[in-house]
């Protein structure tokens, strides 16, 4: 599985348009994709690798749990009607961080 680490950082209102543009370009011609968030992208990478995904891209990084949630929620609302989006939750469908972490990440996983 391919891993791409190229996140945007900053206040959600300042970066959300760029993050949407980045994801839209990546998922234009894929079978399925899903947006998620995590405090441990290595763990999530291994999970999606076992599930047969082809690529994981970290698209946003922050030290704020609130900012992470805002970006993830906005992305899931934006992509909710895309045919290839298989994120049936509005976000936070995965395990919550079990402890305070220094960084939080929003990612997209893709199957071609």
Would you give the DSSP letter of residue 26? Answer: H
- pTM, 2 dp: 0.90
Q: How many CB atoms lie within 10 A of CB 18?
A: 13
- pLDDT in single tens digits along all 112 residues of the chain: 999 999 999 999 999 999 999 999 999 999 999 999 999 999 999 999 999 999 999 999 999 999 999 999 999 999 999 999 998 665 555 555 556 789 999 999 999 9
């Amino acid at each position: 599985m391919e891993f791409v680490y190229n996140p945007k950082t900053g206040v959600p209102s300042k970066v959300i348009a760029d993050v949407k543009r980045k994801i839209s370009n990546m998922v234009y011609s894929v079978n399925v994709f899903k947006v998620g968030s995590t405090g441990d992208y290595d763990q999530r990478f291994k999970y999606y690798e076992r599930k047969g995904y082809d690529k994981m891209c970290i698209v946003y990084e922050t030290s704020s749990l609130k900012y992470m949630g805002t970006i993830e929620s906005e992305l899931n609302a934006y992509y909710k009607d895309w045919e290839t989006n298989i994120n049936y939750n509005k976000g936070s469908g995965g395990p919550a961080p079990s402890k305070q972490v220094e960084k939080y990440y929003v990612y997209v996983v893709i199957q071609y």
